Amino acid sequence: MQVHGEKLSDIEVFHPDRMATRILGMGDVLSIIEKAEEAFDEQEALELEKKLKKQEFDLDDYLAQLRQIKKMGSFSSLLKMIPGANKLGDIKVDDKEFVKIEAMICSMTKKEKRNPRY
């Protein structure tokens, strides 16, 4: 087991080879894939793909995606798993900013969410 944060949900199975690639700055794509498989629903992903192709992606869809990413863990921990992200330096991402974005979107009307230009 290894811990990436202070919450019980931050505990994950220890994979020495994956940890080595993280330390070497090569990321951990397998762990990202596993987290994504746990957090994302295949049917929802297909529906989202259709919306993107039709250019119908709105702020409700963005909010749903944001919430699914939050299920995967802190954004900082996800960035550390991306290959080459160490070259960007020590990026500090305040997850509280995502709460603010959620609050802004939730305070919008349906019309504003469908077309934020209004």
What pTM does this model have? 0.59
H helix or E strand, kind and range, residue 110: helix 110-114
The C-alpha atoms of residue 27 and residue 84 are separated, in whole angstroms, by 7
Q: What's the pLDDT tens digit per position in 78-94? A: 777 777 766 766 777 88
Cβ–Cβ < 8 Å for 92, 75: no
110 pLDDT more than 60: yes
Q: What's the pLDDT tens digit per position in 25-60? A: 666 666 776 777 776 777 887 888 888 888 888 999
Residue 52: the pLDDT is 84
101 pLDDT more than 90: yes
7-28 burial, b at 16+ Cβ within 10 Å, e below that, comes to eeeeebeeeeebeebbeeeebb
Give the domain extent around 83: 2-114
Structural domain total, the chain = 1
Residue 103: the pLDDT is 95
